[in-house]
Amino acid sequence: MAGTSRTDPNQHGSATGGMERGSSRATSPLVKCEQVWRELERASFAVIGYITPDGEPRSSGVVYGVDGRHLYVAVAPDGWKARHITNGHEVSVTVPVRRGGILSLLMPIPPATVSFHARATVHPPGTVNAGDVSKKLASLIPDGPQTATILELAPEGEFLLYGVGVPLLQMKNPIAARARVAVA
Give per-residue pLDDT as tens, 64-110.
989 889 999 989 999 989 999 999 999 999 999 988 777 777 777 78
- The identity of residue 179, as a single letter, is A
- How confident is the model over 2-15, as a mean pLDDT? 41
- Asked if 41 and 68 touch (Cβ cutoff 8 Å), the reply is no
Q: Which residue has the higher pLDDT, 85 or 21?
A: 85
Size of the chain, expressed as the number of residues it contains: 184
- Residue 38: band (very low, low, confident or very high) from pLDDT cuts 50, 70, 90: very high
Q: Which residue has the higher pLDDT, 57 or 7?
A: 57
Q: What is the pLDDT of residue 98?
A: 87
| Residues facing residue 94 across a β-bridge | 47, 115
- Asked if 69 and 155 touch (Cβ cutoff 8 Å), the reply is yes
- Catalogue all structural domains in the chain, each as residue range(s) with its CATH number: 4-100+108-182 (2.30.110.10)
Residue 152, pLDDT above cutoff 90:
yes
- Asked if 81 and 140 touch (Cβ cutoff 8 Å), the reply is no
- Residue 148: band (very low, low, confident or very high) from pLDDT cuts 50, 70, 90: confident
Q: What is the pLDDT of residue 110?
A: 80
- Asked if 63 and 47 touch (Cβ cutoff 8 Å), the reply is no
